[in-house]
Amino acid sequence: MALRITLMQAPAPRTVTEMHLQLPAGATVADALRAARWLDGTGGLPAGQFVGMWGRKTPLDQPLQDGDRVELVRDLRVDPKVARRERFAGQGARSTGLFSRRRPGAKSGY
């Protein structure tokens, strides 16, 4: 029985490449990437990228099941928590989130 696999790659911001493959039973993540020609010349992952399945980091020797989605993802350039803190600091505490529509005399955060 052949496995139907979806491969997703985000090579650049706001760009996603999607590919559908049929692989033999017992295929691994590395087999899927090899079939799509997404591995570098040495048979490894391109620099700064990692592989995952359904948003979780996965080793290349992980066996695949029918319907799996394999993702080749770039490393984050900025930690999302740090970015949010910087945006919040730039906007000011009184003009964002829960504090923007506060009634006069109300407690903080309500």
d(CA 41, CA 103): 62
Helix H or strand E segment including 30: helix 29-36
* pLDDT, tens digit (0-9, with 9 covering 90-100), for 43-58: 677 777 888 898 899 9
* pLDDT, tens digit (0-9, with 9 covering 90-100), for 53-99: 988 999 989 999 999 999 988 877 788 888 888 877 776 655 555 55
Q: Indicate the pTM of the whole model.
A: 0.66
* Strands 69-74, 2-12: pairing kind: parallel
> Which domains does the chain show, CATH number per domain?
2-74 (3.10.20.30)
